[in-house]
Structure 1
Amino acid sequence: MHIISEQQVHSSLHFDGVISALRNGFKKPAGTPPRHVYSLNECDSNHDAFAVLPAWNDEVIAVKSFTYFPSNMTRGLKSLYSKIMLFDRTHGEPLGLIDGTSVTLWRTAGVSALASAYLSRSDSKHLVFFGSGNLALYMIEAHVSVRAINKVTLIARNKTKAKSLLLTLTSKFTHIQFCIGIADEATIASADIISCATGAHSPLFNGHWLKPGCHVDLIGNHHKDARECDTVTISCAKLFVDSKVNVLNEAGEVLLPIAEGAISQSHIIAELSEIHQLNFTRMAEDITVFKSVGMALSDLLIAQLVYRLVL
């Protein structure tokens, strides 16, 4: 059995390969039981958790396990630790133990970018990105790999992190204009794509400000009683998700509008793996939303890709 490190994951991957692996992998049959997230503390203010995500296809079986301790940030530790165990599908032989934290960064960004490739307007130019955490650089790089983005507006509570991210992006993508902005009506109304990767518990922008044709990408929230966008955004949009089971169990962006009576579960048009079968064609004026909470199949596909590339 091979042990594959964080450094090996990062050095082996690029987004063209990641998005291609996800696109092709989602088209094939796979076992995708619901993921299980276990709270480790009964106190409402404590979100420490442990999760297990199994999946399999005709080549491999994968089990991702991760711990989430948000208070670690105040102790100089990572808030999330993760490993992915990969087994041969035919005989069950253990193949590899792969760093899951790094795989999560790549697959999360890759899934959002694949959704954008299906759902955003092909002529999208302006990306508004909420967040400045570990995912930010990956998310932005993934999105600009599938659309000819020429302007990115960064919006974040942590101004120091936002400025550092701005410097990194400016030096890496010299053909794109980057700026730090605020979530006012002018900024939101000018966005072709809005991507949110935050820990926010309340909506980040006013859904009435969205222009026709905008695509909204939501990946930061995993709580039933929290959300990164308002009911207006969800109810006026064509809604897609990574996993219906997981979203309807965890995502306040969808659960709260359902509880309010604004939408029903049928408002979800399709999962990401189903979009290619629908031959979905967006109308120019359509507002689209993609909500992702994470699913084991995407972890499997990128862990499998890393295993092939490293070995």
Structure 2
Amino acid sequence: MKIISAEQINNALNYPDLIDHLDQGFSRPFNMPKRQVFNINPGTENKDAFAVLPAWNEDYLAVKAFTYFPSNYRHNKSALHSNILLFNRSHGEPLALLEGASLTHWRTAAVSALASRYLSNPDASRLLLLGTGNLAPHLIAAHLSVRPIDSVIIWGRNTDKAQALATGLSEKFRRVNFSVHLDVKPAAQDSDIIVAATASPAPVLYGNWVAPGTHVDLLGNHNADQRECDSELIGKAQVFVDSKVNVLNEAGELLIPIHEGVFSEQAILAELSQLCNKSIAGRQSLSPITLFKSVGTAISDLLAAQYVFEKLS
């Protein structure tokens, strides 16, 4: 059984190929039971968690296990640790154990860009990124690979961190103009694509800020009682998700408007797999606001692990 490190994963992957691989993989049959997330301190305010995410397709079985210990941040330690175990589909032989955090960054950004391939306007050139965490450079690189983006605005609560990110990315992507804005509203009003990857428990994006034709991607929140946007944006947008079963269990962006009576489960137009297999169309005209809510899927973990394993075999 191969042990595949974060360094090997980072060296094996690039976004154009990974996005194409995910596009093909989501279009084919797969099975993905509801993921299990366990609070390991039930009855307390401690949010430490352990999760198990299984999936399988025609070629492989996979399971990702991860731990989330948010108090680690106070001690300058990573809060998230994960590994992905890949098995042969035909006879169950374990094939590889892959470092999960780096692979999760890659697949999360690739899924975000894949959704944009179907939901943003083809000539989208202005991207607003909300958030400056570890995912931020991955998200920008992924989105630059699917749309002709020449202007990126970065917003974060820590302006120095946002400026450092913009400076570093400017050196890597010299054709793109990077800037930092302190106010989300005017930046949102002038953007073609808005990607939110924050840890904010309350909205950082509002419906009356978002212009017709904009594509919005929300991926930072995984809590049923929190959200990155307000109900107005959900109500006025065409809404798509990575997985209904997971989003409707975890994402306050949709659950809160459903509870308020201003949105319904039936108003979700499609899952990502339906866009990829072309059974449901994505964007069909220039004017709608499209919105993609993702909380992560086990099948995207499997597909990314498959890509790395086969490339290194």
Give TM class, smaller chain: over 0.9
Contact 1:183 1:204 in 2 (8 A): no
Q: 1:277 maps to which residue?
A: 279
Unaligned segments of structure 1, at least 5 residues: none
Q: 2:299 maps to which residue?
A: 297
Q: 1:34 maps to which residue?
A: 34
Q: Distance in 2 between matches of 1:295 and 1:268?
A: 17
1:44, CA displacement in angstroms? 5.9
Query: CA 1:182–1:44 in structure 2 vs 1: closer, same or farther (change >3 Å)?
Result: farther
Would you say 1:20 and 2:20 are equivalent positions? Answer: yes
1:306, CA displacement in angstroms? 0.5
Q: Distance in 2 between matches of 1:43 and 1:33?
A: 26
**Per the alignment, in what secondary structure is the counterpart of residue 146 of structure 1?**
coil
Contact 2:30 2:57 in 1 (8 A): yes
Contact 1:151 1:178 in 2 (8 A): yes
Query: CA 1:166–1:281 in structure 2 vs 1: closer, same or farther (change >3 Å)?
Result: closer
Query: CA 1:196–1:88 in structure 2 vs 1: closer, same or farther (change >3 Å)?
Result: same
Q: Distance in 2 between matches of 1:178 and 1:304?
A: 34
Q: Distance in 1 between matches of 2:92 and 2:206?
A: 50
Q: 2:6 maps to which residue?
A: 6
1:77, CA displacement in angstroms? 1.2
Instruction: Work out the percentage of aligned pairs sharing the same amino acid.
Output: 49
Q: 1:51 maps to which residue?
A: 51
Q: 1:163 maps to which residue?
A: 163
1:209, CA displacement in angstroms? 1.4
Q: Deviations over 1:95-123 (max 9, x none)?
A: 01011111100000000000001000111
Q: 1:226 maps to which residue?
A: 226
Q: 1:131 maps to which residue?
A: 131
**Per the alignment, in what secondary structure is the counterpart of residue 112 of structure 1?**
helix
**Per the alignment, in what secondary structure is the counterpart of residue 165 of structure 1?**
helix
Would you say 1:142 and 2:134 are equivalent positions? Answer: no
Q: Distance in 2 between matches of 1:281 and 1:290?
A: 11
Q: Distance in 2 between matches of 1:162 and 1:81?
A: 25
Q: Deviations over 1:160-191 (max 9, x none)?
A: 32122111111001011101103343211101
**Per the alignment, in what secondary structure is the counterpart of residue 10 of structure 1?**
helix
Q: Distance in 2 between matches of 1:107 and 1:140?
A: 13
Query: CA 1:159–1:43 in structure 2 vs 1: closer, same or farther (change >3 Å)?
Result: farther
Q: Distance in 2 between matches of 1:280 and 1:59?
A: 28
TM (normalized to structure 1)? 0.98
Unaligned segments of structure 2, at least 5 residues: none
1:208, CA displacement in angstroms? 0.6
1:205, CA displacement in angstroms? 2.1
Q: 1:90 maps to which residue?
A: 90
Query: CA 1:44–1:270 in structure 2 vs 1: closer, same or farther (change >3 Å)?
Result: farther
Contact 2:155 2:184 in 1 (8 A): no
Q: Deviations over 1:188-230 (max 9, x none)?
A: 1101000001100111022111110000000000000000011
Q: 1:287 maps to which residue?
A: 289
Q: Distance in 2 between matches of 1:60 and 1:251?
A: 28
Q: Distance in 1 between matches of 2:301 and 2:100?
A: 8
Contact 1:183 1:205 in 2 (8 A): no
Q: Which moved further from structure 2: 5-14 or 32-41?
A: 32-41
Q: Distance in 2 between matches of 1:193 and 1:46?
A: 36
Q: Distance in 2 between matches of 1:184 and 1:28?
A: 38
Would you say 1:79 and 2:79 are equivalent positions? Answer: yes
Q: How many residues align?
A: 311
Contact 1:136 1:197 in 2 (8 A): yes
Residue from 300, 308, 311 that aligns with 2:310: 308
**Per the alignment, in what secondary structure is the counterpart of residue 31 of structure 2?**
coil
